[in-house]
Structure 1
Amino acid sequence: MSVNYPSAIIRRGLVHSLRFELAAILSIGVAFPVAMLAVIEGRLSSNAIGAVAWAQQSAVLNSILGVIVCACASLAILRRLRLFPGVAVAKSILPVAAMMFGALVAVITFFRLEHSNKLIIICFFSVVIARFGITALRSRSKGVVYALVPGGQVDLVIELSSAPVLLLSEPNLAALPDCAIVADLHADLEPKWERFLAEAAISGRPIYHFKQVWEAETGRVQIDHLSENSFGALVPSFAYQKIKRTVDVAISALLLPAILPVVAVCALAIKMDSGGPVFFRQRRMGFRGREFFVLKLRTMTEGHIGNDRDLSITQEGDKSITRVGGFLRRTRLDELPQVFNVLRGEMSWIGPRPEAVSLSQWYENQIAFYRYRHIVRPGITGWAQVNQGHVTNVDEVNRKLQYDFYYIKNLSYWIDGIIILKTIKVIISGFGSK
Structure 2
Amino acid sequence: MDRRRRHASLHQRLWHSWRVQRLVGLLVAVVLPAGFQWGWGVWQQATSAQWVALGGAIAACLVAIMAVQHLSQLPGTRAYRLVIPALSVCYGVLWGGLELLGVAHEGSHLLLSYATGAIVFSAAYLFTEPHRRLHFAVVPHGRAGELSRHTTAEWHVLESPSLEGLHVDGVVADLRCGLSEPWQRFLSDCTLHRIPVYHASSTLETLTGRVSLQDNRMGNLQPDEGYEILKRFLDVVGVLLLLPLLLPIMAVTAVAIRLETPGPVFFTQPRMGLHFRPFTVFKFRSMYIDRQGNGFTQDGHDPRITRVGRVIRKYRIDELPQVFNVLKGDMSLIGPRPESLDLSTWYRDDVPFFHYRHVVRPGISGWAQVEQGYAAEVDGMNRKLEYDFYYIKHFSFWLDVLIVIRTLRTIFTGFGSR
Residues 67 and 350 of structure 1: CA distance in aligned 2, closer, same or farther (over 3 Å): same
Residue 143 of structure 2: SS of its match in structure 1?
Answer: coil
Greater shift in the superposed pair: 381-390 or 60-69:
60-69
Alignment correspondent of 2:318: 334
Alignment correspondent of 2:334: 350
Deviation, structure 1 residue 93: 1.5
Residue 320 of structure 1: SS of its match in structure 2?
Answer: coil
Alignment correspondent of 2:376: 392
The residue type paired with residue 29 of structure 2 is: G
1:318-329 equivalence runs, <5 A: 318-329=302-313
Do 1:58 and 1:114's aligned partners in 2 also have CA atoms closer than 8 Å?
no
Deviation, structure 1 residue 268: 1.1
Residues 68 and 329 of structure 1: CA distance in aligned 2, closer, same or farther (over 3 Å): same
Residue 176 of structure 2: SS of its match in structure 1?
Answer: coil
Alignment correspondent of 1:292: 279
Residues 82 and 174 of structure 1: CA distance in aligned 2, closer, same or farther (over 3 Å): farther
Do 2:295 and 2:340's aligned partners in 1 also have CA atoms closer than 8 Å?
no
Deviation, structure 1 residue 392: 3.4
Residues 188 and 80 of structure 1: CA distance in aligned 2, closer, same or farther (over 3 Å): same
Alignment correspondent of 2:33: 33
Alignment correspondent of 1:415: 399
Alignment correspondent of 2:167: 177
Indicate which of 57, 63, 80 corresponds to 2:46: 57
Aligned-residue identity in percent: 36
Indicate which of 220, 223, 228 corresponds to 1:232: 220
Unaligned runs of 5+ in 2: none
Do 2:80 and 2:122's aligned partners in 1 also have CA atoms closer than 8 Å?
yes
Residues 79 and 284 of structure 1: CA distance in aligned 2, closer, same or farther (over 3 Å): same
Do 1:85 and 1:219's aligned partners in 2 also have CA atoms closer than 8 Å?
yes
Alignment correspondent of 2:109: 119
Deviation, structure 1 residue 364: 1.0
Alignment correspondent of 1:374: 358
Do 2:332 and 2:363's aligned partners in 1 also have CA atoms closer than 8 Å?
yes
TM value normalised by structure 1: 0.85
Unaligned runs of 5+ in 1: 42-50
Give distance in 2, aligned partners of 1:4 and 1:271: 70
Give distance in 2, aligned partners of 1:13 and 1:178: 15
1:379-417 C-alpha deviation (Å, 9 max, x unpaired): 111001111111132111111111111111111111111
Residue 284 of structure 1: SS of its match in structure 2?
Answer: strand
Deviation, structure 1 residue 287: 1.2
Give distance in 2, aligned partners of 1:95 and 1:194: 45
Do 1:373 and 1:404's aligned partners in 2 also have CA atoms closer than 8 Å?
yes
Do 1:10 and 1:177's aligned partners in 2 also have CA atoms closer than 8 Å?
no
Give distance in 2, aligned partners of 1:205 and 1:19: 25
Give distance in 2, aligned partners of 1:342 and 1:224: 33
Do 1:220 and 1:403's aligned partners in 2 also have CA atoms closer than 8 Å?
yes
**Are 2:262 and 1:275 aligned?**
yes
Give distance in 2, aligned partners of 1:158 and 1:37: 50
Aligned residues: 417
Give distance in 2, aligned partners of 1:196 and 1:56: 64
Do 1:101 and 1:124's aligned partners in 2 also have CA atoms closer than 8 Å?
yes
Deviation, structure 1 residue 4: 12
1:200-222 C-alpha deviation (Å, 9 max, x unpaired): 33444333211111111111110
Alignment correspondent of 1:47: none
Q: CA RMSD in A?
A: 3.2
Alignment correspondent of 2:198: 208
Do 1:304 and 1:311's aligned partners in 2 also have CA atoms closer than 8 Å?
no
**Are 2:174 and 1:187 aligned?**
no
Residues 395 and 142 of structure 1: CA distance in aligned 2, closer, same or farther (over 3 Å): farther
Deviation, structure 1 residue 173: 5.7
**Are 2:70 and 1:80 aligned?**
yes
Do 1:15 and 1:134's aligned partners in 2 also have CA atoms closer than 8 Å?
no
Residues 317 and 88 of structure 1: CA distance in aligned 2, closer, same or farther (over 3 Å): farther
Do 1:236 and 1:409's aligned partners in 2 also have CA atoms closer than 8 Å?
yes
The residue type paired with residue 430 of structure 1 is: G
Give distance in 2, aligned partners of 1:68 and 1:346: 39
Deviation, structure 1 residue 119: 2.6
The residue type paired with residue 253 of structure 2 is: C
1:109-134 C-alpha deviation (Å, 9 max, x unpaired): 57876643333221211111121112
**Are 2:418 and 1:431 aligned?**
no
Deviation, structure 1 residue 81: 0.8
Alignment correspondent of 2:233: 246
Residues 193 and 394 of structure 1: CA distance in aligned 2, closer, same or farther (over 3 Å): same
Deviation, structure 1 residue 243: 2.1
The residue type paired with residue 254 of structure 2 is: A
Residues 191 and 63 of structure 1: CA distance in aligned 2, closer, same or farther (over 3 Å): farther
Give distance in 1, aligned partners of 2:98 and 2:246: 29
Residue 141 of structure 1: SS of its match in structure 2?
Answer: helix
Alignment correspondent of 2:297: 313
1:76-116 C-alpha deviation (Å, 9 max, x unpaired): 21111111013343332212112222344356557876643
The residue type paired with residue 212 of structure 1 is: S
Deviation, structure 1 residue 377: 1.1
The residue type paired with residue 63 of structure 2 is: A
